[in-house]
Amino acid sequence: MAKKSTGLRFQPAGGSRAPQVPTGKKQRLTLERLSNDGRGIAFIDGRTWFVSGALEGEEVEARVLNTHGKVVEARSEKVLKANPQRRLAPCARADICGGCNVQHMPHADQLALKQRMLAEQLSRIAGVEPDAWAAPLTGPEFGYRRRARVAVRWEPKTRQLQVGFRATASQDIVAIDDCSVLVQPLQRIFNELPALLRSFAKPQVLGHVELFSGTALAVMVRHVAPLAEADQQVLQEFCQRHDAQLWLQGEDRPQPVDPQARLGFTLQPWQLELAYRPGDFVQVNEAVNTAMIQQALEWLAPGNQERVLDLFCGLGNFALPLATLAREVIAVEGVDAMVERAAQNAVSNNLQNVGFYQADLSQPLATAAWATQGFEAILLDPPRDGAFEIVRNIKALGAKRVVYVSCNPATLARDTVELLKQGYKLKRAGILDMFPQTAHVEAMALFEAS
């Protein structure tokens, strides 16, 4: 039986829903300002548009990538009226590759954008400004990246192997065989890599490829099924030609084809060498990493009778240089394998005043056996999530000075609130230009107990 019409119409709560802007649609826009991630912002028909590859004041034709409610993400495809500061991106694929999203911006403007982002987060979230701003720590604009992960995907329909980097706002792979941000030795390897991998008899077994330049060059190939014998031979010949180590990873951890292979990186000012394995965390920018450690040591100023705590210590990037100055360094990391390798790094560098421990760094630490004696100074270098649970109880560890190295200004600002509550003052802060040509911001802050 048909339902009887009442003559009434109902709308969902909140009124009618505006139709979504379709993906792929082109739109002419005028950009009013820049977002903190370097995208241009435009407003049209009640929606906010975030446009990659666009600068403040420009008029562009943009293509829609996706839509979330009243937020539209798009990519600039044609600049109709350019900002006078715009420069030609050195990479021809910079507009679609997800790696370098601000190559069209002069380097000085990139630094200003990052500085503004850090200052805004500290002001908006923590309501604070440091007593002094440090000058940005910088290195080369290009040719700086000593580690890279190359995306590889086999397409069964076309029977083709895609090799390159992930596209902006997509899982698509941008075919690139020339990357100007890699250090020169890796550029030479990377240029020949796509053709090499596509020549494989069984390319469908490839996962990804990691490149590294340190005390030696290394090529690590992840495979989801055994490599064909002929393909492995081709890989070995390729690596021999480039004087690079070959590492393979199946179901277990990466292993070198030559069991005697040694791989690592140096911290030259301290004459230290740290062992490294593909997949380990390492700062990709050697020049800025060195400057960052030097600044951290200067700000923390550990005395030769002081006990120092290094949290999220990794392979010992900060802990080992700290051990050359302090009486004792306690270094803590959440991953067992990293703790073992860091301890081995201390032994190989003949540093006997540093101890490495594993701990859950999402929990308070004051009751740990190694923490009961307290510390005069603390350095922490957490991941993007920050270190909220640690900093909210950090005063119990007794430190007068805290250096916080951050890869996310938002969580740094959030954690700053907790440090301020415990009586610490923000004395200095500054950006670290670890990733030129991107809007990614790394920062360092010094807190002192009042």
Are 202 and 325 in a shared domain?
no
Are 71 and 160 in a shared domain?
no
Q: What is the DSSP letter of 134?
A: P
Active-site residue (options: 97, 100, 313, 407): 407
- The Cα–Cα gap between 265 and 274 comes to 5
Which region, left, alpha or beta, applies to residue 259 given φ > 0 means left and ψ of -120 to 50 means alpha?
A: alpha
Mean pLDDT over 355-367 rounds to 89
Are 339 and 399 in a shared domain?
yes
Average pLDDT value for the chain = 93
The sheet with strand 424-432 has its strands ordered as 132-133, 424-432, 442-449, 401-406, 377-380, 307-311, 328-333, 354-358
pLDDT digit string, tens, across residues 332-356: 999 999 999 999 999 999 999 999 9
Are 127 and 154 in a shared domain?
no
Closest among 414, 412, 399 to 449, alpha carbons compared = 399
Q: What is the pLDDT of residue 10?
A: 41
- The Cα–Cα gap between 357 and 343 comes to 9
Number of domains forming the structure of the chain: 3
Q: What is the pLDDT of residue 344?
A: 97
Whether pTM > 0.85 for this model: the answer is yes
Model confidence at 309: pLDDT above 70: yes
Q: What share of the chain is helix, strand, coil (3-state, %, to 5)?
A: 25, 30, 45
Are 356 and 247 in a shared domain?
no
pLDDT digit string, tens, across residues 222-257: 999 999 999 999 999 999 999 999 999 999 999 999
Model confidence at 2: pLDDT above 90: no
Q: What is the pLDDT of residue 170?
A: 72
Bridge partner residues of 255 (DSSP): 248
Of all residues in the chain, the percent with pLDDT exceeding 70 is 96
72-81, 147-156, 162-171, 353-362: which range is least confident on average?
Answer: 162-171
pLDDT digit string, tens, across residues 369-426: 999 999 999 999 999 999 999 999 899 999 999 999 999 999 999 999 999 999 999 9
Are 136 and 151 in a shared domain?
no
Are 117 and 190 in a shared domain?
no
Mean pLDDT over 260-268 rounds to 97
Which amino acid, residue 136? P
101 lies in some domain: no
pLDDT digit string, tens, across residues 155-182: 999 999 999 998 876 778 888 878 999 9
Whether residue 179 lies in the annotated active site: no
